Structure 1
């Protein structure tokens, strides 16, 4: 078809779309925004927004629409596109067998940009209709020092926010200002719901907000401490960055013009502690699970899936792979990941009610191998400083304490030093590195020839690992091997072979 015959995704055209595209069965004019969500990226749109849209489709309860919020100028493009599309977008679900499901998500009602209109964001959060403020702000958005787990008051944006409480830049300034208004108006607080891949994400959000608010208003901080719920949650759905191919697919196959669809796998999981101040959607009706304590589930997911992503990402990047499915389809990489999960993670995981860990690990390998989810290693390795400090290094520390195995995880850190230093793969092809700490990482890693342990002196990431002799012995041996020969696959195979010999 020619361009003129293609339908733009918007409210007017919604019910003219092909029958192969699912659309909301509810009247979007009647949707009320009960949720304000900060950080409208691909994952939010494939996860929380998906659950909410499914809930509305199934129940007709339209009181839980989502008002999106972006805090940075980088969010301007998302705001512009969603506005043009009446806040509609297509979720493209790709199954391993090649089946594709297309669903238009309709639960978003608005998008506010904090850097342009901070007061509008604060007022929206403070409005009585807002019951939940949810977050996908990435690990770095919580503004804590990974080594101390304390709020970073040296951040220039924090200094600005404390001096300018009505025009904040960071999420904690917005939350504090909105909660202050609610307290002054005699309104119950909203629930702060983290949807980020951080262990005890609700507890982390609470600790950081209390630290910040105590600098602003002690009475308010006490009210927040006593009244505001911060449910911990475990979230899961592999959602790669949207590509031009995704946009072209909708255009060529379905004659639909959607400027920013989302691609994801069919698997999704959301486990939430049931702690909410003024109600919540009954997400359990569409697959979410509410539990008293999310700890075992998030431990399992963070230590296996998220760490597994980093294992494949760092090592695969040096080898020259571009996507996760490429990495895991290589027998050496899949065996290495299986060894890491079986011998370094599983022994330190507490029991997980209702979960067979062997089944869960096999499901992970199958999900990673989905050939239709081209999850690029550039995305997987983005912000590795935050990710490895959260997902991988705690496993090393636990195993050091318990005299467990650390060979696989340590190889990832040794490889990360080489990766940060050379910024190329073994074929000398440049690696794109996206990390707020990329310069610090490069400077520290580049000192390797003068000091093999220089990389580990970034204590905000590594903590006291540079003082542990058992770890240092393995790390030094592995970095020496990698710098001598960047054939990372050879070093991985050696670890796998040695483990096999030890068992036999």
Structure 2
């Protein structure tokens, strides 16, 4: 590469110049489809690193394999304008840098054709969803982005939700979606599919319920027929996604720059593994994702349970125990023999008995693959990053296993250890070296208040946090065996410093 190229930023012009000047040399691959030819057919809400490293890759490879040019992506960034600011000057181009054994060459992607900042451009988001050319709306907004209450319904006490219901330009994801569907209905723009790609049990069913909760809260005047149209013209399939995508660092950006010869402000990092299981129920067509390796099925639930309870639950256990133990990354936590044994035991003793294994999946191989992926030191997936939003993650990752094992007459000790580690993380707020541990959680203030007075008393701490009904419901606090297991684990974790 020439020294002059290194000072330039990635965009369509500089990418073409670089290809003419030096080629890729096998170290990186250009977009397999011409970005200029792509028409927007997908709106994605929540265009963070995961979406760009997962669904966009599948979509672009599928478009190349099928020869289609109508599945470009219009991404909506929800919380900040950073992704827009990264990608717009780059003509939507960015690269995916794989880390670990079997890593592919750096891949430049061109399917993102537009980026909107939802907080500043709500009308544009609504109009994009209502565009007749758009046939699929996808979402990765994290569990908390759905703004659910303790019962799993749309939280109508949330001020932003109430403002969206009242008619402000929508700021919440469900508000954006419903107002976009409303505009679509009014314009006769045709059917559309809404595909949640977040870690929620039955994510499509959940999202459909939240949409109808929003509709039920609206004034009835002028909206007759919208709910019926959504019922007949909008599909909400479920899906399961899997890829480890850690936060991009300055070192990652420097490595991408060395390989590509251009500065990429939007590079994302990922492990080589990637999986997508999709319920094949679409209202108006979809990309041929199966040509890129996705699994299409009529039954996502079994795959989803394996992933949430085996992989995600173990990720959380290692995050909380690892962070408390002073380990900065998941791979470092797994190098601790005690933590590795706890992770293995969680999957074998607690989770496996609760699963309905999908046809064609070897659960032993899957478990070994989970541990092998977590042990990849090249990813540097930070424990405190995985520890975020525990109040939203525990119910879907761990508490289903807890309830199933309790119903079978067994106290799941290792799942209880993971929950106890979260409780200790919340109460202590520091690791064994005295370093602060951030509590990044939508219920952070309430959790701190619940733990503050009882941090040094394990039985009282357990009782206080178990009373957070949004997390534990009304059943788990009443189970003496589970409460005793939590208390024992919290006492040991506290005694160990």
Alignment TM-score, normalising by the size of structure 2: 0.93
Instruction: State the match for 2:87 in structure 1.
Output: 82
CA 100–31 in structure 1, closer or farther in 2 if over 3 Å, else same: closer
Q: Report the Cα distance in structure 1 between the residues aligned to 2:240 and 2:29, rounded to whole angstroms.
A: 27
- 1:185-264 aligned at under 5 Å gives the runs 185-216=187-218, 217=223, 219-264=225-270
Q: What is the CA distance between 1:406 and its match in structure 2?
A: 1.2
Q: 1:454 aligns with which of 457, 464, 480?
A: 464
1:456 CA displacement: 1.1
Deviations 1:298-335 (A, max 9, x none): 00000011111001000110011011111112222111
C-alpha deviations, 1:68-94, integer Å up to 9, x for none? 11233x1x1110110011100010012
Question: Alpha-carbon deviation of 1:126?
Answer: 0.3
> What does 1:40-55 correspond to in 2, within 5 Å?
40-55=47-62
Q: 1:292: Cα distance to partner?
A: 0.7
Distance in 2, matches of 1:154 and 1:478, equals 35
Aligned residue for 1:499? none
Q: What stretches of structure 2 of length at least 5 have no aligned partner? A: none
Distance, in Å, in 2 between the alignment partners of 1:218 and 1:3 is: 61
2:42 aligns to what? 35
2-side partners of 1:89 and 1:435: how far apart?
30
- Using the TM superposition, give the Cα deviation of residue 136 of structure 1 relative to its aligned residue in structure 2, in angstroms: 0.3
How far, CA to CA, are the matches of 1:336 and 1:409 in structure 2? 9
1:56 pairs with 60, 63, 83, which one?
Answer: 63
- For the 8 Å contact 1:447–1:455, the answer to whether it is kept is no
Change (3 A) 1:5 1:289: closer
The answer on 1:380 being equivalent to 2:381 is: no
1:102 is aligned to 2:73: no
- In 2, the alpha carbon distance for the partners of 1:142 and 1:5 equals 41
Following superposition of structure 1 onto structure 2, how do residues 68-467 of structure 1 map, counting pairs within 5 Å?
Answer: 68-72=75-79, 74=80, 76-96=81-101, 99=103, 101-145=105-149, 147-165=150-168, 167-216=169-218, 217=223, 219-448=225-454, 449=456, 451-452=460-461, 453-464=463-474, 465-467=476-478
Query: Using the alignment, how far apart are the partners of 1:100 and 1:352 within structure 2?
Result: 28
Paired residues, what number? 481
C-alpha distance in structure 1 between counterparts of 2:489 and 2:100, whole Å = 38
Over 3 Å counting, the alpha-carbon distance change for 1:181 and 1:320 in structure 2 is: same
Matches of 1:418 and 1:443, distance apart in 2: 14
Greater shift in the superposed pair: 266-275 or 405-414: 405-414
- Aligned counterpart, 1:478: 489
For residues 438 and 260 of structure 1, the distance between their equivalents in structure 2, rounded to whole angstroms, comes to 30
Secondary structure at the aligned position of 2:308 is classed as helix
| Map of 2:73 onto structure 1 | 66
Relative to 1, partners in 2 of residues 1:87 and 1:475: Cα closer, same or farther, differing over 3 Å?
same
SS of 1:277 mapped into structure 2: coil
State the distance in 1 between where 2:425 and 2:33 align: 49
Distance in 1, matches of 2:207 and 2:342, equals: 34
Which stretch of the first structure deviates more once superposed, 323-332 or 84-93? 323-332
Cα distance in structure 2, aligned partners of 1:377 and 1:384: 12
Determine if contact 1:238/1:264 at 8 Å carries over to the other structure.
yes
What do the CA deviations read for 1:435-468 (whole angstroms, capped 9, x no partner)? Answer: 2222221221223247331111111011121111
CA distance in 2, matches of 1:191, 1:144: 22
- C-alpha distance in 1 between matches for 2:288 and 2:432: 50
Q: Please identify runs of 4+ aligned residues in structure 1 that moved more than 3 A.
A: 1-7
5+ residue gaps, structure 1 = 487-504
Q: CA deviation at 1:473?
A: 1.6
TM-score calculated relative to the size of structure 1: 0.92
Relative to structure 2, which stretch is displaced further, 311-320 or 51-60? 51-60
